[in-house]
Amino acid sequence: MHDLLTTAALSVLVVSFGIGIVVGLTGMGGGALMTPALIVLGINPMAAVTNDLVSSAISKPVGAAVHFRRGSPNPKLVMWLVIGSVPTAFAGAFIVKAIGATKEQENFVKLAIGGALLLTAVTYSIRMYIQLRYVTGGNEVPDQTPAVKPLPTLLVGIVGGLLVGVTSVGSGSLIMVALLLLYPTLSAVKLVGTDLLQAVPLIVSAAISHVIVDGVQWAVLIPLVVGSTPGTYLGARIAGWVSQSVIRRGIVIMLTLTGLNMLGVSPTWIAIAGGAMLLLGPLLWAYIRQTRGLPAFDNDAAAWRLPERNGHGGAGGASRGSRPGHDEHAAEDR
């Protein structure tokens, strides 16, 4: 039994380190990647969600604190998002608990994660297109604070909180894209700071409810935290050497195929879908790039980086040259 636990912990350590690298490379958070990976490793779906949320609750405040000190979050946006998201995030674990027997809960969580992953893949694709549009549109965003839209923002928080509370997926990808669409003039650094800051109470609320309902598995949580931290650091260090466009498209494919698997789609159809995406995806993206006046295929490893200003790099608050949705490898798509 001890050997089995050791093997499982080692597997979680290795996988979390690898996913941490992806997070550091792309800015995409581990929720959409780590929770399905834990399930694939044989961990109970509810335990996978719980431990991933607790791990995120430990790491998320660090990035948020950096942006808060620099004054980048929009406090009114954060307020309305939190009002909507915290109650629904806390309700997530209790909703799952009310589904029925353990097996029914597992099936429900897997289906919910599958749907969340497909939704994340769609929103992540939209986010890539919006970034490309701004890059080819002059790389400028008006330096202005947009008027807050309380009801739409509240609704975004409610839906995002519920999704995170049930699946641990969505606090970055879905909410980030929603903010992009609602507030296109919000500068990139403020968008990232707002997303990070609102995600802290959201994640903590969801984590607390899951700990109350399911408890924590230390054999999963410890290697999860220990593995992901150096992985994220390493990924951030080598991000400038790697084509972000290729990695991001690969993540969309991986999210889609994993989501289909969670939904119980036949492996044959998953293979067909994967092959079609691998063959047609690059052609479609090349066509989109050409319509925006860019070369069909290009190594754009550093295309999304914010310029340095005031000695703080992208976090200096510059709006000129910044793109909405750029995450400076800090926003997490949980």
Q: What is the token pair recorded at 219? A: 């054999």
DSSP structure string for 270-294: HHHHHHHHHHHHHHHHHHHHHHTTS
Residue 117 near residue 334, CB atoms below 8 Å: no
Average confidence (pLDDT) per 10 residues, the chain, 334 residues? 64 89 71 87 91 87 68 87 96 93 92 92 82 60 72 94 90 79 80 83 95 90 88 78 76 90 92 90 82 66 38 36 40 44
The pLDDT value recorded for residue 80 is 96
The pLDDT value recorded for residue 298 is 59
Q: Coil, strand, or helix at residue 313?
A: helix
Query: How far apart are the C-alpha atoms of 277 and 295, rounded to whole Å?
Result: 21
The pLDDT value recorded for residue 69 is 67
The pLDDT value recorded for residue 189 is 73
| Residues ≥6 apart with Cβ < 8 Å to 214 | 46, 47, 50, 93
The pLDDT value recorded for residue 153 is 95
Residue 213 near residue 1, CB atoms below 8 Å: no
Query: How far apart are the C-alpha atoms of 27 and 21, rounded to whole Å?
Result: 10
- Give the phi and the psi of residue 140 in degrees, each rounded to 5: -125, 140
The pLDDT value recorded for residue 70 is 66
Query: How far apart are the C-alpha atoms of 251 and 88, rounded to whole Å?
Result: 28
The pLDDT value recorded for residue 332 is 42
Phi-psi region of 139 (alpha: psi -120 to 50; beta: other; left: phi over 0): left
The pLDDT value recorded for residue 191 is 80
The pLDDT value recorded for residue 95 is 95
The pLDDT value recorded for residue 7 is 78
Of the candidates 222, 224, 252, 261, the residue with the CA atom closest to the CA atom of residue 15: 224
Phi-psi region of 328 (alpha: psi -120 to 50; beta: other; left: phi over 0): left
The pLDDT value recorded for residue 320 is 34
The pLDDT value recorded for residue 111 is 94
Residue 53 near residue 206, CB atoms below 8 Å: yes
